[in-house]
Structure 1
Amino acid sequence: MAGKSKNAIAQYIWSDAIPAPIVLITGAEGFLADRATQRLRESLKVADPSLEVSDLDASSYVSGELLTLASPSLFGEPRLIRVSNVEKCNDEFLQEMLDYVTSPDSDTTVILRHAGGVRGKKLLDTLRSGSGGAVEVVCAELKSDNEKFDFAAAEFRLAGRKIAPSALRALVQAFSGSGSELANACQQLIADAEGDITDRTVEDYYGGRVEATAFKVVDSAVAGRMGDALVTLRHALQSGADPVPIVATFAAKLRLMAKLFGERRSSGELAGALGAAPWQIDRARKDLQGWTEYGLGRAIEVVAETDANVKGASRDPIYALERMVNVVASYGRR
């Protein structure tokens, strides 16, 4: 479905990508861009199995390559030209692509992958003005937990599979660091798991990953379960977990709790304002039991100190992490 845009051309999300003479794929989320490209290729292949597919690298482009590949073949097969690294394009590509936009070949689809940055801006502005019959596929990075939750939910919905909300949350939390890993995990469950997907299903497939995730450490700590938090932390570190995102997870959770302290509005009302999903707000409110405003402030200060320590300010980042867990699990009283 086309999204709202100030541009003169239609914009789509990856799953709605449609062929056009020129398809501009933008955004930092590479695995979504790959999916959009694959979707376009499959659509063109279904329309005509004789489709010729070619690849160009805009950063090492040699003059004349585009026109050669876009020229009509002897038997008139349709052509798909996939162009990577447009954000690093050389001057030869930029000029020839700008010339091509004025009169694109009717039997050729050119996919331009631009991951971000100012290089090639003239080309992007030209395409977005409506030249060349282009459309844009936006593959923005999945940043917030809410975005990742919605993405994962859509994966199962599109596949016609049912997954329990709690199982979906566990899956998103276990793979929160990488959109591509989350997508792969969803696809593995869709392909391999039988029946409805439950908490037990996720545990069977990704138990080690789920148990060692930073979210498990945080959940135990903010609930005052110091022993559980320290054991899970050590297991996570032994499994190769990076201390920096662990601290970042603590910081995000405590900041959300601080914003909710004394807040009486419903989770639905607060979701947009706080950039968190309603279930995250409900969980954070539950976690506030036993906390005081002073304790939250103290815990947030220690988390900030720990962040500096694990980034090089301390010779013993593991000690700093364990101290942070002790303070948080004591509700900021230590």
Structure 2
Amino acid sequence: MYYGTGNPGTWNPSQRPGKNRWSMTIMARNPETGEAKWVYQMTPHDGWDYDGVNEMVLANVDDHGKTVPALVHFDRNGFSYVMNRETGAPIAIHKYDPSVNWATGIDPKTNEPIVDPAKMTSDGKDVKDICPASQGDKDEQPVSYDPQTKLFYAPLNHLCMSYQAFNVKYKSGFPFVGAIVNMIPGPGGYRGRFIAYNPVTGKTVWQKHDMFQDWGGAMTTGGGLAFYGTLKGMFRAVDVKTGKILYQFKTPSGIIGNPITYMHDGKQYVAILSGVGGWAAIGMADNLHKSSAGLGAVGLNATLTDYTNLGGTLMVFALPSKVASAD
């Protein structure tokens, strides 16, 4: 059984010295006994809120000509991890967004990130231009693995931030944060990406940029399609090999849901929930207007109201035998 753990509290790392084991960690446990078989900490002494709770995908990968049972994880911290899921040994660790700058790379001896001291947060210090932001290069939106292309299709964020930590005391029932965060679009001025990616080589085969975070999940099919939605509410089918948009439909609200497909009476359908919300759209969902509210998410997506509305609609599409190209 594989799962990840979240960030330590507070968000002020000066209040919790050390590596803060075992936060920000991939856990592998025997489901019958609960005993840990192996653990791997991705972001020791987290100073940026890079939770390690994103999904763990089990796939067989090629490791120097040998097929290995692997666990693949796209972490909030901007690194993709390919682990031998039996032993916990790293097979490949790469930045899946080149803008990542809180760490320069991974130490080959310790397998720990090489943190840039200039991007490390601490009590009373306002650190600018940290990439990614606290929402991470990917948050709750799940990736999809296509066994035909052997690529992962990932809806992503592309954000940077300023982060000012401060001393905070725990009080039951109140937020235990200890940081002021302001988030901005990443380099290039866009906030979202959808990519076809090989985590073993670290190569992005193709990518599409979106104005806002691609906060909904991805789904690939045996017919060579990848489906995903945008915060503006566009639901798309793209070619898994090229990224070309084959079909798109403007749904009533922004999309943070995960597409599914099913058969009924011999016909294939694709369904998606259209209804904006979550951390990415907390300003709209909770009627917040102060830019620093929602830990910076309100200011980041203040213009989202110009493009979509609140809602909650289940959209179901019949999949034709051949999807026509979109203009």
State the TM-score, normalized to the length of structure 2. 0.29
Say which structure is richer in helix. 1
Say which structure is richer in strand. 2
Taking CA–CA contacts closer than 8 Å with sequence separation of 6 or more, which of the two structures ends up with the larger relative contact order?
A: 1
State the TM-score, normalized to the length of structure 1. 0.29
Greater Rg over alpha carbons, structure: 1
